[in-house]
Amino acid sequence: MPLISQDSINELRGLNLETVIGKHVDLNKSGSSFKGLSPFTKENTGSFFVHPTKEIWKCFSSGKGGADCISFYEAMFDLGFYDACEKLAYDEGIELIRVNLSPEAEAKLKKEQAEWKQIQ
C-alpha cells in the first residue's frame, strides 16, 4: 500500500495555522493569538483559539485541540490521519509524495505516525 512520504507530512505540518484554519473559522487578532467562534459547537462567544507562536489550536467549548493543520482537519471533518492529509493537501494545492514500503518499514512508519498523534 502506498503511503504518504514523511517529507509530505512534514510539509503539511509546516503550513501556517492561522492561514489554513482561517479559511474555516473567522479569526480575529486577540493579543498574540487569534480567536473565533467554535466550528464544533454553537456558541455566541469565541472559545476557539489559534496560538501561532506556540503552534497550537484549542477549542475550549468542545475540548478539541492540536498542534498542526492535520489535527485540525481530523477534528473539523471527522477524518482519520491519512484522509485528513489527503484533504488538506488537496485544499492547499500540495501534491503528496507517495512511497511504497516493505511491510516492516510500513509498520514502523505507521507506529511513528500513531506516536506523533498521541503527542498532540
> For residue 1, what pLDDT band results from cuts at 50, 70 and 90?
low
Backbone angles phi, psi at 50, to 5 degrees: -120, 125
- Residue 32: its pLDDT value, please? 92
From residue 37, give the alpha-carbon distance in Å to each of 41, 55, 58, 113.
8, 19, 11, 30
- Residue 27: its pLDDT value, please? 96
Q: Treating both helix axes as pointing N-terminal to C-terminal, what angle do 69-77 and 81-92 enclose, rounded to 10 degrees?
A: 110
From residue 75, give the alpha-carbon distance in Å to each of 98, 103, 118.
24, 29, 14
The pLDDT tens digits for 57-97 are: 999 999 999 999 999 999 999 999 999 999 999 999 999 99
- Residue 20: its pLDDT value, please? 97
Backbone angles phi, psi at 10, to 5 degrees: -60, -40
